[in-house]
Chains A and B, each alone.
Chain A
């Protein structure tokens, strides 16, 4: 809604609430006579009313965005209150008395001040992510992958990291509501059980419908199975807007059963991704394992062999940009292209009606040749958001190449109750409209927000006699349901889940439900004979048999909890052969028609994380777009539609309309507009409500993935994005240092010229392993190129090495850093003006023609330069070097001149321009890492190499009278990285991993020509380019380009 520019927004608001306009006089009147704290509280209350925001945009049009912005406003109000309190004591502040609240009975195993680690799992529709949770005094404060688990090996991802903040979100629903009034659980139980008793007695549950989120819990499936016995006519349906319908439909067709495909990238030399974002986050099932395996074959560690990735995709993803050869195709052409590959492999007929450009044909030919040459050692991965045809083609190609059983195996689905969710939803709506539904229980899904517009879910829902909504937020669905049950977060409740390979993890609660939330297990249990059994009991019951079979149940149960998973529960491969694999390709769309594709947001998924500030603020990969979503398109389409970036356009698809601002994306397929789901929430909470536009408004049940023949109209409005990176086109002539084409990125060209990014093809690397230090300005000055003697770091010397070959730009590291280092969320407006606080960012550079660029991802945090330019200019010595070579920032000494930031060539310092940290919200205090200072206003901050972890390790080592071991200190970013791109350690220890990486010929320092002597170095990228294809397409090698 507020995606619209302020003016539009204002009109809408005043239109909807005539006579509700608040004037400045009224505000003054309301505040009159109230002073001090009360004054601000009243202002705060006022500020929560919509009229207030409207008033502001009317009275102060230019500043309104800042005031309305929830985060900024909160900061302002709290600051104002705090500054009143501080008014008298500035200068000679004395600390206020601090109370101590000791335990009554302290738990035996609790040592206050020492974190404890527990294993659990993050249940996610694409497969659970096993976790190891760091808990301080029983408050979970950091989530990380379970290092023992075969799927993740300790890595995690951005969304999982973000669920920690979701736990402590103050906007979570805190009560059970009946028609908006607070009730308690027994009242609901009485009503629900009363109904159940009736249903059981008559009709076997006729008229009782459950609409659930994708089921990942075997226990939930078991509970339902038991309930079904008593209520044979009750229905359990699943719907999530982002689902696996295509994959399931294809496998049903090919194998006659719902199966999951498991790709073994450790076996594959050639990989083809068909719109598959398998390197871009857990939106793709099995992400951590796929990315880890893919990267493992690119380390060039003692070998000069590596895998090769081809990507055919319609919008620009990190997966495509990491590919050696990327082909941008309209989404509707990916299927036919795959069919053409299949045809060439099988010798069958190419799909009719499709003609490929010269370039596409060359790509196709080379790709087929490469696949054939690597038969059995190649793999084709279809994208989850592609049509069943693409999945079917992938199954067929893999079969034709003999990959099945080798690089791809098929197993039982992670979802114990697989179904085509689109059909499920249609069934439900039909029954609702037919008046068949008495009780509709919606569990952890939000169809009012996310169901296809043409199905008009909200009207259908109103036809149910009784509706129950279980969810962590009082969201769009919860708002209209009769009953709202506040849901428990997964860190608060017992459950279980399978990771994508099938391995079972027990989900154990880390903390008592903050607001007494309930889980779906609690609801279903009401239908069983033992309705008072807790979720804990239900989960134990599910695994009792299996765990008892292997010995003592209690021992095995404890072991399962301790390990975080049940060993050997991965699905075995099914020996199946695809039968019906005819790929039916629909007729091609008109060549210049515009099609719209819908993709889950990489940060917010389907919108469920919309109120997680970390994820809202996290710049999306590729676009670096923060807080908003956009109608993404190529530069070519931009010209074709005669629109410019930031123009708000109206997109009409199948009669549905949505207003969206335009963002150009390099490498995007022409004639395609990508809309990401998950924004435009109305009832997400204070952070997420009103951010971006709701792409579901244009998504219909007939075209949930690709919508053809979209109409685009310019509205004449503008919308300023909060993009964290500048993107200019290089219009310089050759003599002025440009390339003269006018189609390249200025940043990209400059980056290569400046030696910030260095890379080579595999052939070039084989010829010249030292390529990273060839060329002008590519070698560091000698250590003693100074008037003064260098410092000697003779004990520990901490350093970091980042493998540019492995980094896939998935952002997991950034969110991990948020959690570990108490980084503040600053809000949309502040990001827009460039004040985001992430200590770590992933710099994305586009090389070459922006229509088909190559991209480079470079994680960039404080480089801990030995000759740090920042330190020299600090007038108070607030940033200094430690004897171990850390560039340490002493927050409490900082007066905030910001000189250090100006003098930092890497611009990695972050400044608290306003009071960004939330000192007020109680629940957020529980989340903070107690080992890291929460930074206040006016203080500079930056990456510390997780100095708190270094100190803890040193204390442990000193206590044990030993050296810190290699690998003992793991930085938060390193820990989260799915591809092990980041390595940290003691560079003085020759045998340490990091020292070995730094000794590689490919290792180089960014801007080392300045003699800053950065402690973080990068291992230059090597691309296994298909020389034949490159030659055919006339692509230059990096040495020529750079």
Chain B
């Protein structure tokens, strides 16, 4: 009757107990991290595309408007992928022989679609609607990132449910004036970069965007429409003309906002953004 185990076994046994505990914890942490990792979310992955289309070149370089290609972003759940025709509009004249554009010419000639790979791909049971987001002050870059700085398109955010909820639970922190929707360079207001906004009492049936006017340059005393940052861009302009509503009265009173919190609060009220509880209700996204 002698010892069965070596002296070292005590230490080994205790260590392995501790290790087991640690491994379990580590596994949990790993899985937790893994489910949020780009490996799962595909953040930052540049998918193989038939044509290495550069948003950077077209947006930043050439100054194309988002809507030039994504035409239905304001009126449909689906923003729209441009038909070959949109490419050919210009590329019938320029870069007509570029090898890179062979698939485009091919598509135009044969009538077969250019088969892109979807970059922002939500699961089929998620119903995202572009229309309501852009109409209520969520800018393109809030979700898609600085597309104008992406030579090849990739997914900036996780697009996971917690990411969506992050904003649905506190929409104010991402709201911007609808005139700035397409502004890729929009940053939240600060002391250095304040935003001035004026509002008129809103009317039933008149889109909320029309009762708010914001500018990033200090308006003249008393508020002059003329002093706004040139012609209102994009959505805002279109909506005004669409509805034929009255322009902002000359005597509008502008308030200065120097923080996103304050601006968000103002816009949430003005745009009648639904309450977080309503926005985080399941049927908002799943049907």
User: In their complex, do chains A and B touch, with some C-beta pair under 8 Å?
Assistant: yes
Q: How far is the CA of A934 from the CA of B114 in the complex (A)?
A: 27
Q: Interface residues of B: mostly helix, strand, loop or mixed?
A: loop
> Which chain B residues border A103 with CB–CB below 8 Å?
83-85, 113
A90 at the interface (CB under 8 A from B): no
> Which chain B residues border A114 with CB–CB below 8 Å?
72, 75-77
A266 to chain B, nearest CB (A): 36
Assess A888 versus B282: contact at CB under 8 Å? Given A104-B113, A933-B124.
yes
A59 to chain B, nearest CB (A): 39
> Contact at B277–A104, with CB atoms within 8 Å?
no
Q: How far is the CA of A932 from the CA of B72 in the complex (A)?
A: 21
B111 to chain A, nearest CB (A): 5
Partner of A947, one of B75, B77, B107, B287: B287
Chain A residues 380 to 416 lying within 8 A of chain B, measured CB to CB, are: none
> Which chain A residues border B203 with CB–CB below 8 Å?
961
Partner-contacting stretch, out of B204-212, B213-221, B248-256: B204-212
Partner of A962, one of B34, B116, B204, B287: B204
Residue-wise, chain B 189-212 has the 8 Å CB interface mask toward A (1 for contact) of 000000000000011111110000
> Contact at A891–B131, with CB atoms within 8 Å?
no
A838 at the interface (CB under 8 A from B): no
The tally of residues in A whose CB lies under 8 Å from a CB in B reads: 44
Q: How far is the CA of A248 from the CA of B31 in the complex (A)?
A: 76
Q: How far is the CA of A100 from the CA of B287 in the complex (A)?
A: 23
> Contact at B83–A102, with CB atoms within 8 Å?
yes
Residue-wise, chain B 81-102 has the 8 Å CB interface mask toward A (1 for contact) of 1111100000000000000000
> Which chain B residues border A98 with CB–CB below 8 Å?
117-118, 121
Partner of B84, one of A105, A950, A951, A963: A105
B32 to chain A, nearest CB (A): 13
Assess A99 versus B205: contact at CB under 8 Å? Given A104-B84, A882-B281, A931-B287.
no
Chain B residues 130 to 159 lying within 8 A of chain A, measured CB to CB, are: 131-132, 135-136
Query: Closest residue of chain B to A959, judged by CB?
Result: B135
> Which chain A residues border B72 with CB–CB below 8 Å?
111-114
Chain A residues 81 to 101 lying within 8 A of chain B, measured CB to CB, are: 92, 94-95, 97-101
Residue-wise, chain A 328-368 has the 8 Å CB interface mask toward B (1 for contact) of 00000000000000000000000000000000000000000
Q: How far is the CA of A388 from the CA of B207 in the complex (A)?
A: 63
Q: How far is the CA of A56 from the CA of B207 in the complex (A)?
A: 65
Residue-wise, chain A 885-919 has the 8 Å CB interface mask toward B (1 for contact) of 01010111100000000000000000000000000
Partner of B127, one of A893, A951, A960, A963: A951
Chain A residues 924 to 942 lying within 8 A of chain B, measured CB to CB, are: 931-934
B175 to chain A, nearest CB (A): 14
A958 at the interface (CB under 8 A from B): yes
Assess A933 versus B277: contact at CB under 8 Å? Given A100-B118, A104-B85, A114-B76.
no
Q: How far is the CA of A100 from the CA of B123 in the complex (A)?
A: 14
> Which chain A residues border B185 with CB–CB below 8 Å?
none
Partner of B123, one of A888, A892, A944: A892
> Which chain B residues border A955 with CB–CB below 8 Å?
129, 131-132
Q: How far is the CA of A646 from the CA of B129 in the complex (A)?
A: 52
> Which chain B residues border A94 with CB–CB below 8 Å?
40
Q: How far is the CA of A97 from the CA of B155 in the complex (A)?
A: 13
Q: Interface residues of A: mostly helix, strand, loop or mixed?
A: loop
Query: Closest residue of chain B to A963, judged by CB?
Result: B204
Partner of A961, one of B78, B131, B207, B283: B207
> Contact at B204–A961, with CB atoms within 8 Å?
yes
A106 at the interface (CB under 8 A from B): yes
> Contact at A958–B287, with CB atoms within 8 Å?
no
Residue of A955, A959, A960 with most chain B CB atoms under a 10 A cut-off: A959
Q: How far is the CA of A931 from the CA of B124 in the complex (A)?
A: 10
Q: How far is the CA of A947 from the CA of B127 in the complex (A)?
A: 12
Q: How far is the CA of A99 from the CA of B81 in the complex (A)?
A: 12
Q: How far is the CA of A944 from the CA of B127 in the complex (A)?
A: 15
> Which chain A residues border B113 with CB–CB below 8 Å?
101-104
B284 at the interface (CB under 8 A from A): yes
A9 at the interface (CB under 8 A from B): no
B28 to chain A, nearest CB (A): 15
> Contact at A100–B81, with CB atoms within 8 Å?
yes
B185 to chain A, nearest CB (A): 26
A883 at the interface (CB under 8 A from B): yes
Q: How far is the CA of A958 from the CA of B113 in the complex (A)?
A: 35
Residue of B82, B136, B286 with most chain A CB atoms under a 10 A cut-off: B286
A880 at the interface (CB under 8 A from B): yes
B115 at the interface (CB under 8 A from A): yes
Query: Closest residue of chain B to A110, judged by CB?
Result: B72
> Contact at B118–A99, with CB atoms within 8 Å?
yes
> Which chain B residues border A933 with CB–CB below 8 Å?
124-125, 286-287
Q: How far is the CA of A602 from the CA of B125 in the complex (A)?
A: 35
Chain B residues 37 to 88 lying within 8 A of chain A, measured CB to CB, are: 40, 47, 72, 75-78, 80-85
Assess A104 versus B118: contact at CB under 8 Å? Given A882-B281, A961-B206.
no
Assess A891 versus B75: contact at CB under 8 Å? Given A102-B116, A947-B287.
no
A65 at the interface (CB under 8 A from B): no
Given contacts A104-B111, A962-B205, could you give 10 more A-B pairs where the C-beta distance is less than 8 Å?
A: A92-B40, A102-B81, A104-B108, A104-B113, A111-B72, A882-B278, A883-B275, A883-B281, A959-B132, A961-B205
| Residue contacts A-B, CB under 8 angstroms, 9 given | A92-B34, A113-B77, A882-B281, A883-B278, A888-B281, A888-B283, A888-B286, A892-B125, A961-B204
Binding site for A on B (CB under 8 A): 34-35, 40, 47, 72, 75-78, 80-85, 107-108, 111-118, 121, 123-125, 127, 129, 131-132, 135-136, 202-208, 272, 274-275, 277-278, 281-284, 286-287
